[in-house]
Structure 1
Amino acid sequence: MQNMITGKVCTLSILPFLILWQSIAVSEPITTSAWLQYTADGLEVRALIPTQIGTLKPNNNIDKIDPTDTNETVSSKLNALLNTPNDVLDSQSQDPCPHISIDGLTLSMQVRTKATPNFPKRVCSVHIPPKANIITLNDIVFTTVKPKPKRIVLLGDTGCRLSGGQRHYQACNNTSLWPFKHIASRIADYQPDLIIHTGDYIYREVACPKGNAGCAGSPFGHNQATWDADWFTPASRMLQTAPFVFLRGNHEGCDKAGIGWFRFLSPRATPDTCEPNTPPWFITLDTLQLGIIDSAIVTNNQKKSLSTTFAQQLKTLTPQYNRPAWLLSHRPIWGFGASDTGTTLTKQTQALQAAVKKSPLPDFINLIVSGHIHLAEILDFDGKRPVQVLAGNGGNMLVSRTPPATEIDAMAIKQSKVLYQYGFVVMESDEKDNWRISFRDVEGRELEACLLSENQLFCE
């Protein structure tokens, strides 16, 4: 249908690249998922739009990555998909993206990434003002953006594990054994002001074994179906609840789900090739700042530590801090727990610990927020070091219990709480900007709580 446009056309000064229409009557594209997220350039709304891309066959190489592949082979397969030539991209040019209303102004969303055979949904996006009030996209009404969030949710490591190398096949069809959908619903019920996902969205790497009813019929590999099953579908209610800050996990590395990360959730434009490490970025809120580093990969191809790289990233962030701040990193700087495949206590992460020695954290930082280890944890140290919180219990298989660590990187642990069960973490601030940190279970019930007052932690 041709657009019927009436009224005066003018340019929106805060968004000079978009066109504002006083009145628009259009046939809007279908939106299957939409969310609001902070990026390196401010706030964006993003949406997934189904497309028809003809009868071209999908590039199945992406689903043929084998655990014995070399790093070079894996990179070649992934980059072949990312660099799919234009003749296999969707060619619909008329109104490829929907319109969105922001405080009564109607704007055209722009194509972020086109559809491909493996990802037959284009991604549309639009920048929005930092203090937008009413945001609507078709029948989706987003929550009001709050520049001073009082209720913040932390969660991470949410995908369902299907791993051929580790022989772990989680029961993705059972919401008790893979409870992410239920957790996401409880978070939506809580109505937070901001949600921070600490990374690792996609774990369905291989096919479910024949005869395994727990994961029978599950999609796998790097494609739209896997992203829908592991993230967009179970998170649907939560996605419209609050703005997100997305961290990149090691499962979004270039040898895993990096292609989808850059299509959907990356805080910057989609690159031409998958990047193993990306620059740090920064969010300034009214009373809080967030510094974010990409710690998906901590060693290079020669297995050498990237501590120098991280030290430079921390140094880059330091001049931007001018108020209380949290540092966000998928991998903890100081955390402990068993690995995914063992029962031995590990103390993570050495590359980041070395980076902090080279580039000490400023006094403004009083909290490190991470995931990666599949448990929930808070650590307070007997020395000058920020409190470390881990929210890695969002749905993936939990790690084995280990004896608690008494020190990490030569500093004694003064107090700690470790929870080996599924759930999420809630941060609630009072009028003095103290933060009450509570660990919630799958049903949203409080299990443990501590109070962070400036740089001091008081646990109940």
Structure 2
Amino acid sequence: MNNIIQKLLSFAILLGSVFIVNLGFATQDNAEYVQPYLVVGDNQYILRAVTNLPKCPTVQWDAQKAEEMKVRVAGAKIPLRKKSDVIESDFPVLTCEMVWPKDAKEGKVNNQVFKRPASEIKKIIVIGDTGCRLKGAENFYQDCNDQSKWPFAEVMTNAAAKNPDLVIHVGDLHYRESPCPDNLPGCKGSPWGYGYDTWKADFFVPAKPLLEKAAWVFVRGNHETCSRAGQGWHRFIDTHSWDEKRSCNDHSNDVIGDYSEPFSVPLGKSAQFIVFDSAKNANKKITEKDESFLIYVNQFKTIEKIALNKKFNIFGSHHPLNIVLPSKKKDSESEYQLYPTGFTNILAGLNGEELLKSPINFTIHGHNHIFEAITYDINRPAEIVTGNSGSSLEEINNVEIKLSDVQKKLLKIKEFSSYQDFGFGTLERQDEMGEKWLFTEFDVNGKALLKCDVSDRTVICK
């Protein structure tokens, strides 16, 4: 590689405000690459771009003179976080950003035009758990080179055709943590580790059709913790201002980098989406002895205050409050169990069986690679789990989960629907105020499978 190319690749990434700009990387190392995208943060949009050029691209707001985007963070090769790590994280790109001006109607980066999102959000794409799973510790290697086995790119193309106002990703963007064995053609040649080449393969390239279509709200997943893909999360996705202490580059600062404050995204006159970072939620019960206990307790109190600003609230976290899966108990009265995740007991301690107080109406999650819609027979928000947009599916033999009336009664569930294959969802507003919605679950090809009416604290699917 010549000196010019080396200099170009040595520059870092600029991350921006609420909107993210994708200019798209070419396959050749020496090709010019700019990937613009728009992200949504706390009461702001941030236009971002990732580029291998030596400076940030320009953005033109409406008919004004173009101005250069600000550098969020420069490119760098990060030393090993711990001696036990086996590969450095290399980010040979610049991350750039700029906050969307309040009076601007559109922003143009190169030839890509981003329209200011509507104040009244009417259609939302919902996806989750999208990366291609390569994990040597579990001897699990998804066929990243086979679109039928890792259909994220197809999901993105068909989701973009729905022309959404907004995209919600409920977490776990990055899955390629281990090298593909030489004898497995399904993932042969795949990048791995936590550097930019893996982020590009696992997210930026396949997501391009939808990144160029709408603004994105990202909910952080456990794959984006500091000990995993947190460095890329803070460079490319996180909507806070860049802070080296929160960057996950130094593991001694992980207690700072692994958490972020909840915020809300307005959806209409009476509706909002509340974003909660549950990345450090463990599968085991979180107790007073755990680092995250008091952090989460205080954040849930903040969420209750945020919820008072709107009449209809959608709570989003990567980890579900509960999930229906086949029972692990041989002597169980039910074939299925309602399994909690790490912070469910914290919510139960705060609010009893209600978990999240009204006016939180329903919740959206990922983590489990399945679609489920649950309405409870107790005073509790309805719940949708939609973690089936690309990563390997739940290992339940693709048998549809159906609950009998007896099982529903045992689990305190009133309405339940599930879908065990790859897909994505849309959430469409059905009234002027944003208090009634329609959630549609689609297969990979964009064919509607389930239509679910969402109102009050119920999700009823047909």
Fold equivalence (TM over 0.5):
yes
Contact between 1:335 and 1:388, CA under 8 Å: does it hold in 2?
no
| Residue 298 in structure 1 maps to residue 300 in structure 2 | no
| Residue 107 in structure 1 maps to residue 67 in structure 2 | yes
Provide Cα deviations, 1:343-398, integer angstroms capped at 9, x if missing partner: 99661314234225315534221111110000111110001111111110010000
Matched residue, 2:456: 454
Contact between 1:37 and 1:44, CA under 8 Å: does it hold in 2?
yes
Q: 1:267 aligns with which of 218, 239, 263?
A: 239
Distance 1:284 1:163 in 2: 37
1:187-202 to 2 correspondences below 5 Å = 187-202=159-174
| Residue 33 in structure 1 maps to residue 35 in structure 2 | yes
Write the letter of the residue equivalent to 1:351: F
1:157 to partner: Cα distance: 0.3
Matched residue, 2:393: 398
| Residue 135 in structure 1 maps to residue 102 in structure 2 | no
Contact between 1:156 and 1:199, CA under 8 Å: does it hold in 2?
yes
Percent identity over paired residues: 31
Distance 2:411 2:102 in 1: 40
Contact between 1:331 and 1:348, CA under 8 Å: does it hold in 2?
no
Write the letter of the residue equivalent to 2:295: T
Write the letter of the residue equivalent to 1:102: W
Matched residue, 2:422: 422
Distance 1:408 1:458 in 2: 14
Contact between 1:334 and 1:348, CA under 8 Å: does it hold in 2?
yes
Provide Cα deviations, 1:96-122, integer angstroms capped at 9, x if missing partner: 212112222333310001011310111
Distance 2:418 2:140 in 1: 24
TM-score (norm. length: structure 1): 0.78
Matched residue, 2:378: 383
1:50 to partner: Cα distance: 0.2
1:283 to partner: Cα distance: 2.1
Provide Cα deviations, 1:269-309, integer angstroms capped at 9, x if missing partner: 23323212222222234332121111011258998373443
SS at match of 2:146: coil
Distance 1:364 1:417 in 2: 24
Change (3 A) 1:452 1:371: same
1:428 to partner: Cα distance: 1.0
Matched residue, 1:364: 359
1:178 to partner: Cα distance: 0.3
SS at match of 1:398: coil
Matched residue, 1:286: 268
Matched residue, 2:92: 120
CA-atom RMSD, angstroms? Answer: 2.7
Write the letter of the residue equivalent to 1:223: G
Change (3 A) 1:326 1:47: same
| Residue 310 in structure 1 maps to residue 310 in structure 2 | no
TM-score (norm. length: structure 2): 0.78
Structure 2 gap segments, 5+ residues each: 1-16, 18-30, 78-89, 249-256, 328-334
Contact between 2:134 and 2:140, CA under 8 Å: does it hold in 1?
yes
Q: Which moved more, 1:149-158 or 1:263-272?
A: 263-272
Contact between 1:277 and 1:294, CA under 8 Å: does it hold in 2?
yes
Provide Cα deviations, 1:290-338, integer angstroms capped at 9, x if missing partner: 2111101125899837344322101112222322111110101122337
Distance 1:330 1:310 in 2: 14
Write the letter of the residue equivalent to 1:109: M
SS at match of 1:234: helix
Contact between 1:43 and 1:130, CA under 8 Å: does it hold in 2?
no
Distance 1:407 1:261 in 2: 40
Distance 2:214 2:447 in 1: 20
Change (3 A) 1:447 1:414: same
Provide Cα deviations, 1:183-206, integer angstroms capped at 9, x if missing partner: 000111111111000010111011
Matched residue, 1:9: none
Matched residue, 1:253: 225
Distance 1:331 1:408 in 2: 22
Contact between 1:195 and 1:245, CA under 8 Å: does it hold in 2?
yes
Number of aligned residue pairs: 387
1:413 to partner: Cα distance: 1.0
Write the letter of the residue equivalent to 1:291: I
Write the letter of the residue equivalent to 1:438: T
